[in-house]
Amino acid sequence: MNPLIITCAITGAETTKKDQSHLPITPKEQALAAKAAVMAGASIIHLHVRENDGTPSQQVERFAEAIGAIKKEVNDVIIQISTGGALGENIENRARPLQLKPEMASLNLGTMNFGDNIFYNHPKDIEILAKKIYENEILPELEVYEAGMLESAFRLCKKGILKDPMHFQFVLGVPGGMSGDVRNLLHLVSLLPSNVGWAVAGIGRYELPLAIHAVLLGGHVRVGFEDNIYYSKGVLAESNAQLVERVVRIAEETGREVATPLVARKLLGIR
């Protein structure tokens, strides 16, 4: 199997300090959390940013500050910014940080119920974001929450809106999308062409079982406080790095190499 790429989603847009006291909010906190995650084995940092009071932000200046702080601590890490923003964020605000030209950016592929809210991604907005991502020479990570979004990606590829290499992130366990039942992961993987890369992010209690299966199936893994704040049932994780370390141990026990940022770039086709 190819080496395992581990992404760490260190902050997210929904988790609060009240939920998880170790949640990194400021650029300095995010830089230290990213450094610890990379030292533990992560090669990609999935990045949302917050204002100092903890509210989600899409300000270009805040992204630039956070990226600069992270790169100062771990210069070789791949930074993947979120274009999802906070629920209800307009498309213009979600797109602005792309001007910073990170190596990767997320691209959500459909509208869905998201808990008690609606995560709105109009088809035209998806096309606008895709165009801006490619214009800035960024690799999109294609976020899939249910099987219909995967089929949408194939249609967008046929239209030339999405381009090879395609890399999918299956986000499973969000109320309103597919659950983290392993059968759902197997179904999604079965629909992929053989030359397409994929990773999985399990939300909450689904994080660990889906990570284990991704390691065994040849996929890649995302962990971190955006998706799950617990290490085990009722026990809060001490850090993002602790969640990464567990995936590294699983990979080592199964004989699968963990990718460095340099190797991850080669696997993803990032120049």
Q: How far apart are CA 65 and CA 59, in angstroms?
A: 10
49-50 and 56-57: which strand pairing? antiparallel
The pLDDT, as a whole number, for residue 243 is 98
Q: What is the mean pLDDT of residues 82-106?
A: 93
Q: What is the mean pLDDT of residues 45-71?
A: 96
pLDDT of residue 102 exceeding 90, the answer is yes
The token pair at 118 is 């609606």
pLDDT of residue 103 exceeding 90, the answer is yes
pLDDT of residue 195 exceeding 90, the answer is no
The pLDDT, as a whole number, for residue 89 is 84
For the domain covering 6-268, report its CATH number.
3.20.20.70
User: Residues of the chain with pLDDT > 70: what percent?
Assistant: 100
The pLDDT, as a whole number, for residue 85 is 82
* Confidence tier at 194 by pLDDT (50, 70, 90): confident
Q: How far apart are CA 78 and CA 76, in angstroms?
A: 7
Nearest-CA neighbor of 104 among 65, 144, 71, 77?
Answer: 77
Quick check: 147 and 191 in contact, CB under 8 A?
Answer: yes
pLDDT tens column, 237-268:
999 999 999 999 999 999 999 999 999 999 99
SS3 at position 221 = strand
Identify which has the larger pLDDT, 91 or 222: 222
**What is the residue-averaged pLDDT of the chain?**
96
What does the DSSP 8-state code read for residue 97?
G
Domain ranges of the chain: 6-268
Q: Is the pTM here over 0.85, yes or no? A: yes
